[in-house]
Amino acid sequence: MSEILDSFEEYCVNPEFKESRKTFSYRRAIQYFCDYLGENSIDDELVSKFKKYQLDIGNKDSLLYKKFLSFLAPRKQSSYLYSGYLSAALPEFFAFWKNYKNQEKIPPIFFANVTWMERYDGLEIFKKPGAAWVKENNDAHEKNNFKEIDGKYYGYVECSRNSKINISTIANRYGCVIKEENGNRFIENIHVIYFSTSPKGKARIVGFYNKAIIFENYMKNPLNGDRYYFVCGHDDGILIPEKDRNFIVEKSYGQDQRWYADKDEDIPFVKKTLEYIKKYTIIANLQEQQMISNMLVKLKSDLEVEFDKNKITGILPINNYHEHTYHIGRIGGTEEISVKKIRNGRRAEKYFVDYLAKNGFKKGKDFDDVANDRNYGYDMQFADIGIEIKNIQSGSFYLTDNEIAHLESGKTHLILVDLDNGIWLLKNNSDWLRITIENIKSIRDYCKEQYSNIVLTDIKINITDDIKKEIFEISQFDYDKILDILIGTK
């Protein structure tokens, strides 16, 4: 509810709104009416109730008016009713709701008209200077829009009139929530579309950011001092090669470098653009995967593969396609991937701890959770056995160099957890595990020798049928059986 009310308040802040000074009172009036009705979410059904009660809210003799006033009085909020704030807010809320619902299914988008370049990496000469400042100085702040800096892209567009991007226009159009940090307002998860007029004529899309943040006022990048309005993760920014820039921006976008495409007549073009960038994102990702896959052709590997997962309880999730997949990029992968690994791992650890507790094992007595203790370097100490816990719900898992070292030294064994299906024990003397570790090492050595400028992230290990004869499913074991099999691993 708060998100919708935030959007309603922003809607009322619009300069064209005749009662802009009352926007906060209107927001509160709607909130208090929801409280009275016992509603904690806003949907079409509730808005229909609002319309049904609208006349009674404006009638001081109505039963609804009197009951609502009695509700507000102890809360010292009566003025929101008898001063007419709710009566005035309802028509505006109906107009807002219609707009909000119409735009609900269209992801937020913003168009930025930039100077035409090939790479936008800060290292090229402009083929077709655009704005007056660019022509005069033979320079452009947007020259670095696709220069990766610390795993991110920072984008700029010239804002000649007031050096601001009207994020309220975008928020009102798409129901975005405006946030603020250090005095600068911003909105999140926006598609930023960069377009430019080609040297051959006609404006074309040259690249775009998915899941971008847009700031109202330009920021300065502390790493290089560049100005920017937009920021996205490296994986969410896509630059279109010059030869492939075929999507024409046919709409009239005026002289301003900022185009909000916020008119109803712009909706068909916006939808067409969103469909284009969706398809191009898929193509670009496949092209990147194919490029890296070609580099590793001697390994007979692929990047990301689909897997068939059997959902029957007690059946190990198997990846039937490849023994390994590989992800090449920055150390540890992207921030999003790294965080996802950590979260998945913690879920598996909690699942196994709960499983032990359910079967009568006492934390601190029978086992210790040492995942955050650097003196151990693994997840759990069971008697004098080290346990490394892996989430295999996706049919795969990862091993770090440190975890491999512990397994090879005989310090630890693996517990494989599928949150839906079961728990398995894989001993460190497993032939399947030994071969897998040998493969990982050979892959790293090969890449270090052949592609010294590329850093391999952790290698994803896909579970294959070969593992079945070497694991023990312990999901249904009781206290004694669990103790026997774990102690028996020493």
pLDDT at 456: 61
In percent, the amount of the chain with pLDDT more than 70 equals: 78
pLDDT value of position 30: 92
Give the whole-angstrom CA distance, residue 33 versus residue 27. Answer: 10
Give the end of a domain, one of 103, 119, 149: 103
Average pLDDT (33-39) is 91
Question: What is the CB neighbour count within 10 angstroms for residue 220?
Answer: 11
pLDDT computed for residue 342 by the predictor: 61
Tell me the average pLDDT of the chain.
Answer: 79
Does residue 336 register a pLDDT over 90? no
Q: What is the mean pLDDT of residues 379-397?
A: 87
Q: Which band of pLDDT confidence, cut at 50, 70 and 90, is reported for residue 308?
A: very low
Q: Is residue 350 part of a domain?
A: yes
The pTM for the full model equals 0.45
Residue 429 has which token pair?
């003397």
| Residues composing the chain | 490
Q: Is residue 479 part of a domain?
A: yes
- The pLDDT score that the predictor gives to residue 458 is 67
Phi-psi region of 225 (alpha: psi -120 to 50; beta: other; left: phi over 0): left
319: confidence class by pLDDT, cuts 50, 70, 90: very low
Structure tokens at 281: 């994102």
Range 357-385 average pLDDT: 86
Residue among 158, 153, 162 at smallest CA distance from 139? 158
The region of weakest confidence among 55-69, 313-327, 360-374, 442-456 is 313-327
Q: Is residue 66 left, alpha or beta, with left meaning phi > 0 and alpha meaning psi from -120 to 50? A: alpha
Question: Do 83 and 188 fall into the same domain?
Answer: no
| 13 within a domain of the structure (yes/no) | yes
Residue 421's pLDDT band (cuts 50, 70, 90): confident
pLDDT at 138: 62
274 shares a domain with 342: no
- Please identify, among 69, 103, 137, the residue that sits at the C-terminal boundary of a domain: 103
Give residue-wise pLDDT tens across range 201-221: 889 999 999 999 999 999 998
- Bridge partners of 460? 325, 398
Are 341 and 480 members of one domain? Answer: yes
pLDDT of residue 318: 46
Tell me what the mean pLDDT of segment 396-402 comes to.
85
Residues 472 and 341 in one domain: yes
Residue 148: domain span = 109-279
- Tens digits of per-residue pLDDT, 47-67? 999 999 999 998 999 999 999
Q: Indicate if 266 and 398 belong to the same structural domain.
A: no
pLDDT greater than 70 at residue 105: no
Q: How many structural domains comprise the chain?
A: 3
Instruction: Check whether residue 90 and residue 183 sit in a common domain.
Output: no
Indicate if 123 and 80 belong to the same structural domain. Answer: no
